[in-house]
Amino acid sequence: GQQLNQSPQSMFIQEGEDVSMNCTSSSIFNTWLWYKQDPGEGPVLLIALYKAGELTSNGRLTAQFGITRKDSFLNISASIPSDVGIYFCAGQLRAGGTSYGKLTFGQGTILTVHP
Amino acid sequence: GAGVSQSPRYKVAKRGQDVALRCDPISGHVSLFWYQQALGQGPEFLTYFQNEAQLDKSGLPSDRFFAERPEGSVSTLKIQRTQQEDSAVYLCASSARVIHRGVSSYNEQFFGPGTRLTVL
């Protein structure tokens, strides 16, 4: 099935460093979302973006919805050990049609933070 | 708690066995999704229910996969004659669907912890 192209696949960083990851798609989405998944758990929503060009922050997290509606990035500033996990981007088609809000996910970015 | 729950959390099946995976969504959530997450991959859509109606089953990989939600709450994903390639984590998500000015919008999908299926 279709998956979004997410990079990098993994990152090993020192505590306190900033992190950036991005996601691209061959098709347009009108909602972009970023999730974090811890081992043995389901994904948890971090940030949702609803408008092309939108820049949204949630604490140390900042995400942007690309102008073309085919890409998004997530930045994490001043990383801490509890940021460890797998981060997924997801695209969603809103408002009618037959998508019903199903999510199309990227392959994930594995983040490791060294104290 | 009041989150999405799934059972069992782990299931080991011999190839050829049938399995049934259960999802208890958040009470009152109209929408229910099933996703399949292979090792090292992101979740992939399997099927969608709005109340008891299965409106989209385009992601089901074969006719061995069957899902139901007969009373519009609990859902069961059944896999018949399991194969090794069925080994994955099966995630359930629910959301409250909102219609505003005649236009559907989709609230946050809350995911359960998943069922890890291993087929030997």
Residue-wise pLDDT for A5-39, tens only, equals 999 999 999 999 999 999 999 999 989 999 999 99
Q: What's the pLDDT score for residue A98?
A: 61
Cβ distance B41 to A108 less than 8 Å, yes or no, reads: yes
Strands B19-24 and B75-79: antiparallel
Give the pLDDT band (50/70/90) at residue B2.
Answer: confident
Cβ–Cβ under 8 Å, residues B94 and B110: yes
Neighbouring-strand partners of residue B84: none
Among A3, A44, A102, whose Cβ lies nearest the Cβ of B42? A3
User: Whose CA is closest to B73, among B44, B32, B104?
Assistant: B32
B 72-111 near A (Cβ less than 8 A): 91, 93, 95, 97, 103-106, 108-109, 111
Which comes out higher in pLDDT, residue A24 or B102?
Answer: A24
Average pLDDT over residues B78-91: 98
* SS3 assignment, position B41: coil
Q: What's the pLDDT score for residue A1?
A: 66
- Res. B103: pLDDT tops 80: no
Strands A109-114 and A10-14: parallel
Buried b (16+ CB within 10 A) or exposed e, B44-76: bbbbbbbeeebebeebbeeeebbbebeeebebe
Q: What's the pLDDT score for residue A30?
A: 87
Neighbouring-strand partners of residue B59: none
Q: What's the pLDDT score for residue B98?
A: 63
Task: Compute the distance between CA of residue A88 and CA of residue A71 in angstroms, rounded to an integer.
Answer: 13
- Res. B108: pLDDT tops 90: no
- Res. B104: pLDDT tops 80: no
Q: What's the pLDDT score for residue B106?
A: 66
Cβ–Cβ under 8 Å, residues B108 and A48: yes
Give the pLDDT band (50/70/90) at residue A101.
Answer: confident
Phi-psi region of A35 (alpha: psi -120 to 50; beta: other; left: phi over 0): beta
Neighbouring-strand partners of residue B13: B119
Q: What's the pLDDT score for residue A3?
A: 80
Q: What's the pLDDT score for residue B107?
A: 75
Test the A interface: residue of B54, B99, B105, B115 with most A CBs within 10 Å: B105
The pLDDT tens digits for B40-73 are: 999 999 999 999 999 999 999 999 999 999 999 9
In 10 A of CB B101, how many CB atoms?
A: 5
Cβ distance B42 to A107 less than 8 Å, yes or no, reads: yes
The pLDDT tens digits for A26-74 are: 999 989 999 999 999 999 999 999 899 999 999 999 999 999 999 999 9
Cβ–Cβ under 8 Å, residues B6 and B114: yes
Among B35, B44, B48, whose Cβ lies nearest the Cβ of A100? B48
Give the pLDDT band (50/70/90) at residue B100.
Answer: low
Average pLDDT, chain A: 92
- Res. B81: pLDDT tops 70: yes
Cβ distance B41 to A45 less than 8 Å, yes or no, reads: no
Average pLDDT over residues B26-34: 94
